[in-house]
Amino acid sequence: MDVNVPDVVLVFSGKRKSGKDFTTDILLERLGADLCVILRLSGPLKFQYAKENNLDFNKLLDATSYKENHRAKMIKWGEEQRQKNPAYFCGLAIEDASPNHKVWIISDARRQTDVEFFKENYPKQTVTVRVTADDSVRLARGFAHTKGVDDAESECGLDQGVTWDFIVSNNGNMAELEPQLAKIIDHIREMLCKK
């Protein structure tokens, strides 16, 4: 692995519409883009899938029906790639980090192999974070259970088997979210001070 070693690797996981991107975007804003970067494991997956299937990559990145229409096939394709090499998308994602980024925020870990990749390659730097939201909140955010998606490993693979360093409840109440984010930021700063 020929990349720079960060001081902190935050590995985020959560169900669809739990607010992972919202939470990681706030952390990026608070910590600053000079210090940290958001790395999405789904980015390389979507790029390769779009390339092979002549699709609009940018539309696969947003939260529109375009992405939802391709989600099941994209998941199947991604699983085929992971069977060949479980760390394939993790390796591609970290290529986007620069030496200036001391904090990597992995915004979308979905499988045990994703978490294991970072814990094995960056054991002292990795901090795991699970973002949760009540089902009623997820529904209000546009979640609709989709067979073959929400019962697949990409959504359920981390429901068990990981001891999370932080669990963030993100039900849309900033007064409740703020102290949870403050604890994570304090932890990051402590880790950075030790370097």
Cα gap 46→60, rounded to integer Å: 6
Query: Strand, helix or coil at 43?
Result: helix
Q: Cβ-count burial of 89 within 10 angstroms (0-12 exposed, 13-18 middle, 19+ buried)? A: buried
183 is in an annotated binding site: no
Q: Return d(Cα 20, Cα 131) in angstroms, integer.
A: 6
Q: Is 16 annotated as a binding residue?
A: yes
The C-alpha angle 155, 157, 158, rounded to 5 degrees, equals 100
CA 67, chain centre distance (Å): 17
102 is in an annotated binding site: no
Does 14 belong to an annotated binding site?
A: no
Rounded to whole angstroms, the Cα distance separating 166 from 118 reads: 16
Is 84 annotated as ligand-binding? no
20 is in an annotated binding site: yes
Q: Is 65 annotated as a binding residue?
A: no
17 annotated binding-site participant = yes
Residues annotated within the binding site are 15-21, 141, 170, 180
Residues annotated within the binding site for ATP are 15-21, 141, 180
Residues annotated within the binding site for substrate are 170
